[in-house]
Structure 1
Amino acid sequence: MRTSPVWSPEQYGTYADERGRPFADLVRRVGAEDPRTVVDLGCGPGTLTATLLDRWPTATIHGVDSSPEMIAAAEQLRAEPAVADRLTFEVADLRDWSPAPGSIDVIVSNATLQWVPEQLDLLAGFVRVLKPGGWLAIQIPGNGDAPSHAILRELASSPPYAGYAADKSLRPDVPGPADYVEALSAEGCSVDAWETTYNHLLAGENAVLEWVKGTGARPVLQSLPDDLRARFEAEYGERLAAAYPRREYGTLLPFRRIFAVAHKTPSEAGR
């Protein structure tokens, strides 16, 4: 049975501008001029999904996320009737998402597929549901070796936390740009893949702790009993503060991300 953490739209929204920059950089590389149907797989609270309304003014935008909490937050964006006609959301696991072949113009998946060990195996299915000439755009974090994650794994695997959290700190190995080029080229796509390290300058006290509490550390924190969770967070926060010291100008968080944009050629309509 598949299980996932209960995600917090509020915590995830911390440092929203920094989290949103890779999404904008990803979408900027999609060459679709007048798509009719755009899907955001792993849409989260929908804030970034809604920006696609302006990017493609004639398109219907549909967000998919496995978290009911995230979709509940996203639904609030549909309050205006003009927006509600073009913006929809659905609770679903992207591994089970299966629209009709050749029915989607653009698929975007931002900071989601890193949670899916078999993500490369899913790419053929994503390409299959694209219309001829459609686009698939993917961005995932590639910072698994960063101190934020190394400290998390080490602490979660030590007493007294290991019995609850050791397996929750593990992440699948993520593909690199060349892996995406190989997998998507095999599906008849032209592929643009690259990586970027953002140097985020974060404000606030123990800023990196607040960042990871909304994403990578959340499965670990939720796996712990209440008494251990507070202790873990204090220890983790202390070690993060040492690894990412706060300066007068803020806290610097280097963050590597991996991108791939694939264009399905019209000749691949039969795939």
Structure 2
Amino acid sequence: MKWDPAKYAEFGDYRNRPFFDLTARIHAEGPAHVVDLGCGPGNLTATLAERWPDGRVVGVDSSAEMLAQAAPLAAKIPALAFEQADIAAWMPAPVTDVVVSNAALQWVPGHQDLMRKWLEALRPGAWFAMQVPGNFNAPSHALMRELAASDRWASKLDGVLRGGETVGEPGDYLGILLDAGFAADAWETSYQQVLHGQDPVLAWVRGTALRPVMGALSEDDAKRFESEYAAALRDAYPQGVHGTVFPFRRIFAVGRKAVG
């Protein structure tokens, strides 16, 4: 699946806020090596390099399109670099002090087991911070799965979408961090996002959750599916006088590995 950086950035203010809510809980002082897993277009990774200018900050992503967008940032900021890699195959180097993963692990099946391996490999004193969307059972996703499973679409979309099992609950991630010897904090936040324009929830999911469906269908079928899905979204998220309210739940966890 290809990523569209422009489409992803369309709701930048809303997509960026959880990153800053997450990284505000990281209290590392002068880390030498920081990694942002699933860095996307790199604009948020750049803020880590600005925060810790004396260290090396590396953004890792599998999307060539996203990294092409990020490349000019690395040319401007000496502490910043980007690498193309599958985060499912990544492991922290011995010198890694901070690992951040913002809205990326939901794309990695088995990411909780992967987290356990990363946490074990991180050195004492290292920080780990992650955020994933917790809205897989919200109407935006449930309606998509329901339509994909209908008689018209099931043969073409079988196995394309995952459900609520895609991510864990805050307590699951807290337990993983505590079991690995981290002093940890986990929480959830439901952002009440007010979107504007025609079919704004559809516009939102086009940049993320709808991508697997669009990638599995022909151009004509993709248009038909999107039209049916848009009608269902309008009923689930009616437009009000101030816009369309789109509740978005996010799950966070941050921890620091014990020293000694």
TM-score, L = length of structure 1: 0.91
- Work out which of the residue numbers 202, 222, 239 in structure 1 matches 2:232: 239
Which digits, 9 at most, give the CA deviation of each residue in 1:143-193, with x for residues without a partner?
Answer: 111000011001111233222223212244311111112111111111100
Matched, 1:180 2:173: yes
Q: Which residue of 1 is the match for residue 185 of structure 2?
A: 192
Post-superposition shift, 1:261?
0.2
Could you list the runs of 5+ residues in structure 1 that have no partner in the other structure? Answer: none
Q: For residues 148-159 of structure 1, what are the structure 2 equivalents within 5 Å?
A: 148-159=140-151
Q: Could you say what secondary structure the match of 1:168 adopts?
A: coil
Q: For residues 36-51 of structure 1, what are the structure 2 equivalents within 5 Å?
A: 36-51=32-47
Could you list the runs of 5+ residues in structure 2 that have no partner in the other structure? Answer: none
- Work out which of the residue numbers 81, 89, 105 in structure 1 matches 2:82: 89
Matched, 1:34 2:30: yes
Q: Which residue of 1 is the match for residue 138 of structure 2?
A: 146
For residues 170 and 218 of structure 1, the distance between their equivalents in structure 2, rounded to whole angstroms, comes to 13
User: Aligned-residue CA RMSD in angstroms?
Assistant: 1.4
Q: Which stretch of structure 1 is more off in the superposition, 130-139 or 172-181?
A: 172-181
One-letter amino acid matched to 1:86: A
One-letter amino acid matched to 1:212: V
For residues 160 and 227 of structure 1, the distance between their equivalents in structure 2, rounded to whole angstroms, comes to 14
Which digits, 9 at most, give the CA deviation of each residue in 1:195-247, with x for residues without a partner?
Answer: 11110111221110000010111111111111111111111111111211122
Q: Which residue of 2 is the match for residue 108 of structure 1?
A: 100
Q: For residues 110-149 of structure 1, what are the structure 2 equivalents within 5 Å?
A: 110-149=102-141
One-letter amino acid matched to 1:206: D
Q: Which residue of 1 is the match for residue 73 of structure 2?
A: 77
Q: Which stretch of structure 1 is more off in the superposition, 161-170 or 24-33?
A: 161-170
For residues 146 and 105 of structure 2, the distance between their equivalents in structure 1, rounded to whole angstroms, comes to 24
Post-superposition shift, 1:33?
1.6
Q: Which residue of 1 is the match for residue 203 of structure 2?
A: 210
Identity in percent: 49
Contact 1:244 1:251 in 2 (8 A): yes
Q: Which residue of 1 is the match for residue 222 of structure 2?
A: 229
For residues 204 and 77 of structure 1, the distance between their equivalents in structure 2, rounded to whole angstroms, comes to 31
TM-score, L = length of structure 2: 0.95
For residues 210 and 124 of structure 1, the distance between their equivalents in structure 2, rounded to whole angstroms, comes to 35
Post-superposition shift, 1:96?
0.7
Contact 2:32 2:95 in 1 (8 A): no
For residues 78 and 38 of structure 1, the distance between their equivalents in structure 2, rounded to whole angstroms, comes to 14
Q: Could you say what secondary structure the match of 1:30 adopts?
A: coil
One-letter amino acid matched to 1:221: M
Q: Could you say what secondary structure the match of 2:240 adopts?
A: coil
Q: Which residue of 2 is the match for residue 164 of structure 1?
A: 156
One-letter amino acid matched to 1:185: L
For residues 248 and 242 of structure 1, the distance between their equivalents in structure 2, rounded to whole angstroms, comes to 16
Count of residue correspondences? 259
Contact 2:36 2:60 in 1 (8 A): yes
Runs of 4+ in 1 over 6 A off after TM superposition: none
Q: For residues 241-260 of structure 1, what are the structure 2 equivalents within 5 Å?
A: 241-260=234-253
For residues 9 and 166 of structure 2, the distance between their equivalents in structure 1, rounded to whole angstroms, comes to 26
For residues 55 and 194 of structure 2, the distance between their equivalents in structure 1, rounded to whole angstroms, comes to 34
Contact 1:202 1:251 in 2 (8 A): yes
Q: Could you say what secondary structure the match of 2:41 adopts?
A: coil
Which digits, 9 at most, give the CA deviation of each residue in 1:108-167, with x for residues without a partner?
Answer: 000111122211111232223433211000000011110000110011112332222232
Matched, 1:16 2:12: yes
Q: Which stretch of structure 1 is more off in the superposition, 207-216 or 159-168?
A: 159-168
Q: Which residue of 1 is the match for residue 56 of structure 2?
A: 60
